Amino acid sequence: MATELERPLRVLVVDDDDGITSVVSRALAREGYEVRAAPDGERALRAAREWHPDAVVLDVLMPGLDGLAVCRRLRTEQPTVGVLMLTARDTPLAQIVGLDAGADDYVVKPVSLPILAARLRAVLRRHEPASEVLRYADVELDTATRRARRRGREITLTTTEYKLLLHLMRSAGRVVPKGVLTERVWGYDFEGNDNVLEVYVRYLRHKLEADGEPRLIQTLRGTGYAFRTA
């Protein structure tokens, strides 16, 4: 049973185009984020106040309260939230105005979903706490030292093992597809195959179960992996 379940990062998608909102929301959900959507500026601010997202993907051109006004209010009310503007305006002046309004990054439509996800990760890294301890069941992971503990036993991890455990613990309790996990650990330009992921899952299991502890990295055949009790 979890002592403390680390919630997935929250992303609020704001756009008055239902098609864009739907596509972006589904793509980010596959990345492991918890996603909500808002169709206009007023409802975006209301959702941000109630839900406290970690980042906002924000359209600029919307009826009523536009994205620039929303961004300025977010910076006043929630200064630590990451803001990624997604807009059809591609002039240098428009980008300067967006960044000056408080956006962390400015992406011009159309943009590929992998690039959007990578830019969002960069935005979230800028707002990431300097140190964080994730906990699930009897495992702790310190993001400052990149070391894990299980029942007080210290576990030293390689860089790849750390990334793998980090993303599994951030999605604790939920299934992470193999493709999503591979992209998070190795990046979108990864040229290996599922066998590489399976090898590192074995390495990580060996370290986590060195004293005969119960398995926490569960395999869902044909789907992916989940960090959870059986």
User: What is the number of domains present in the chain?
Assistant: 2
What CATH number does the domain containing 107 carry?
Answer: 3.40.50.2300
Give the pLDDT band (50/70/90) at residue 4. very low
What local confidence, expressed as pLDDT, does residue 1 receive?
32
Q: Kindly state whether residues 85 and 117 are assigned to the same domain.
A: yes
Q: Kindly state whether residues 156 and 48 are assigned to the same domain.
A: no
Among 70, 104, 126, the domain-final residue is: 126
Confirm whether 1 is domain-assigned: no
Q: Kindly state whether residues 81 and 167 are assigned to the same domain.
A: no
Confirm whether 213 is domain-assigned: yes
Cβ pair 216, 208 in contact under 8 A: yes
Q: Kindly state whether residues 81 and 107 are assigned to the same domain.
A: yes
Between helices 113-126 and 18-30, what is the axis angle to 10°? Answer: 70
Q: Kindly state whether residues 38 and 119 are assigned to the same domain.
A: yes
Confirm whether 4 is domain-assigned: no
Cβ pair 161, 200 in contact under 8 A: yes
What CATH number does the domain containing 144 carry?
Answer: 1.10.10.10
Confirm whether 5 is domain-assigned: no
Confirm whether 29 is domain-assigned: yes
Among 105, 126, 147, the domain-final residue is: 126
Q: Which residues contact 182 (CB under 8 A, 6 or more apart)?
A: 190, 192, 194, 196, 197
CA dihedral over 26, 30, 31, 36, signed as positive or negative:
positive
What local confidence, expressed as pLDDT, does residue 190 receive?
58
Q: Kindly state whether residues 14 and 122 are assigned to the same domain.
A: yes
Q: Kindly state whether residues 189 and 108 are assigned to the same domain.
A: no
Rg (CA), the chain: 19
Q: Kindly state whether residues 187 and 81 are assigned to the same domain.
A: no
Confirm whether 198 is domain-assigned: yes
Q: Kindly state whether residues 219 and 190 are assigned to the same domain.
A: yes
Q: Kindly state whether residues 149 and 104 are assigned to the same domain.
A: no
Q: Kindly state whether residues 91 and 177 are assigned to the same domain.
A: no
Domain containing residue 190: 133-227
Give the pLDDT band (50/70/90) at residue 93. confident
Confirm whether 186 is domain-assigned: yes
Give the pLDDT band (50/70/90) at residue 95. confident
Tokens of 63: 């009826």
Q: What is the pLDDT of residues 105-153, one digit of tens each?
A: 999 888 889 999 999 998 888 776 656 789 999 999 988 788 899 998 9
Q: What is the pLDDT of residues 22-52, one digit of tens each?
A: 999 999 998 889 999 999 999 999 999 999 8
Give the pLDDT band (50/70/90) at residue 207. very high
Q: Kindly state whether residues 122 and 161 are assigned to the same domain.
A: no
Mean pLDDT confidence for 207-218: 96
Among 79, 106, 126, the domain-final residue is: 126
Give the pLDDT band (50/70/90) at residue 154. very high
Confirm whether 22 is domain-assigned: yes
Give the pLDDT band (50/70/90) at residue 2. very low
